[in-house]
Structure 1
Amino acid sequence: MLKGKKDANIMIDSIIFDMQQLAMQMEFIEFLYVPQRCNRWDSVRPYRWERKTKRAEREERHEGREIRDRERERETARKKEWEREE
C-alpha cells in the first residue's frame, strides 16, 4: 500500500483536496436550497464557513417568537369574529 512518509503525505493531501471539493459542492447546494449556514466543514474551510454567534442564535429565536405571537393574535381575532357572527 503506502511505501513511507512521502506516499502517506500524498494520500493525506488527496483526501484534503477531496474534502475541499465536497465542501464547495455543499456550499453551492446550500446556497440554492438552505437559508442557514452549515458548520460541518469549518475545519476544512474555516475562512468560508462562519459559526453563528450566540447573539445571532438568540435573535433568530426571538424572531421566531414574534412570528408565533402574531399567528396567535390572528387566531384569537378569527375566533372572536366567529363568535360575533354566531
Structure 2
Amino acid sequence: MTTSKIQAFALAACAAAALLCAAGTAHAQFQKGPDPTAAALERNGPFAIRSTSVSSLVSGFGGGRLYYPTATGTYGAIAVSPGYTGTSS
C-alpha cells in the first residue's frame, strides 16, 4: 500500500468515526426526560403545559385542542387523532 492510499484510508476512517459520534450527540442534544414507555405516555408528564382550543369552523379539519409546553426549548412532538369521524374522549 502506498503512503497516499494509507493517508486516504486514515482520513476516511476518521470521517466515519466523526459521523458516528455526531449521530450519537445529536440524539442526546434534543432528549428531554426519560425514554417513552406505554405507562409514561398514559400519565401526566414532568413538564408544565397549556392548551388552546381550535374552532370546529377552521378549514381542513373539525377543530380540536392543542397542548404545548410552557418552557422554551426544543421538544419532540406526538400527534394523536381519533380518526376522521371520531371524537375526543
TM-score by length of 1: 0.36
| Higher share of residues assigned strand | 2
TM-score by length of 2: 0.35
